[in-house]
Amino acid sequence: MKDSTAGTLLGGRVSYRQFAAGHRSGFEPVFLAAAVPARPGERVLEAGTGAGAALLCLAARVAVQGIGLELDPALAALARQNFAENNFAALSAVQADVLAYRTAQKFDHALANPPWHDAAGTPSPDQARALAHQAGPDLLAGWVAALARALKPRGSLTLILPAASLPAACACLAPGFGAIMVFPLWPRAGKPAGQVIVQGRKGARTPAQIFPGLTVHDEAGITAEADKVLRGEKLLF
């Protein structure tokens, strides 16, 4: 296996290894996990799990049964290692392309941080980083459709995306999802949102809501509210 570095998530509650080179986790998986409305014993499916950060954070909060799909076999193996080292026996990682994934199981919740860089742009010279970030044509629609197939009726789908992808996300969710919730992540007070969390319920008809969101940084660094989420002390919804 490639060289990896040891770290922690949720203020040290979770140990987390990731590869020294290539894609590196940021705040996104922690914020994503903090938005998933899971209850103990429910089944969760993540597309593009990487080294498993989001599922690790979710399982540290609530005892879920989780499967992470990851196209890169080395990352899938590292996710399995992370799950084992944290004694989360109910989490597993499967090396698979979410677009081709088929299962008879139905899940209560699904989540993803899809690749989002424009496919027409210059890809990263690092193959793993390019795979994690570069979005092909209709990738978001394909991921939403694949995760929707795996969800139970009224199951939730939660995505973290660049703010510019919000119209596309709402269009993808519109045919089969309702109760859409949009949660902006503001880089600083007074600045446009850089990212959004979008969540919908399969088959729901409740009107959409836009939440006040979370400001991530201030003059001193990480805001107190963002720090509570990153430490696992507060949820987003």
| Domain residue limits, the chain | 4-19+26-230
Residue-level pLDDT at 21:
84
Q: What is the mean pLDDT of residues 212-226?
A: 97
Residue-level pLDDT at 2:
80
Residue-level pLDDT at 76:
98
Q: What is the mean pLDDT of residues 212-228?
A: 98
How far is 132 from 128, CA to CA, in rounded Å? 6
Q: What is the mean pLDDT of residues 126-148?
A: 70
Q: What is the mean pLDDT of residues 131-158?
A: 84
**Mean model confidence pLDDT for the chain:** 92
Q: What is the mean pLDDT of residues 141-169?
A: 97
At residue 46, φ and ψ (nearest 5 deg) are -115, 135
Residue-level pLDDT at 134:
43
- The CA distances from residue 201 to 10, 43, 84, 110, 204, in Å, are 27, 15, 31, 10, 5
pTM: 0.91
Q: What is the mean pLDDT of residues 36-46?
A: 98
Q: What is the dihedral of CA 138, 100, 50, 124, to 10 degrees?
A: -50
Percent of the chain with pLDDT over 90: 86
How far is 102 from 117, CA to CA, in rounded Å? 26
Residue-level pLDDT at 173:
97
Residue-level pLDDT at 126:
43
Q: What is the mean pLDDT of residues 12-39?
A: 94
The topology (CATH level 3) of 4-19+26-230 is: Rossmann fold (3.40.50)
88-128: per-residue pLDDT in tens?
999 999 999 999 999 999 999 999 999 964 544 444 444 54
| One-letter-per-residue 3-state SS of 27-45 | CHHHHHHCCCCCCCCCEEE
Provide the β-strand partners of residue 183: 197
The dihedral built from the CA positions of residue 200, 203, 204 and 205, taken in this order, carries a sign that is: positive
Residue-level pLDDT at 116:
67
pLDDT at position 168 over 90: yes
Band of the pLDDT at 1, cuts 50, 70, 90? low
- The CA distances from residue 143 to 43, 99, 111, in Å, are 18, 6, 10
Residue-level pLDDT at 137:
62
Q: Between 136 and 87, whose confidence is greater?
A: 87
pLDDT at position 226 over 60: yes
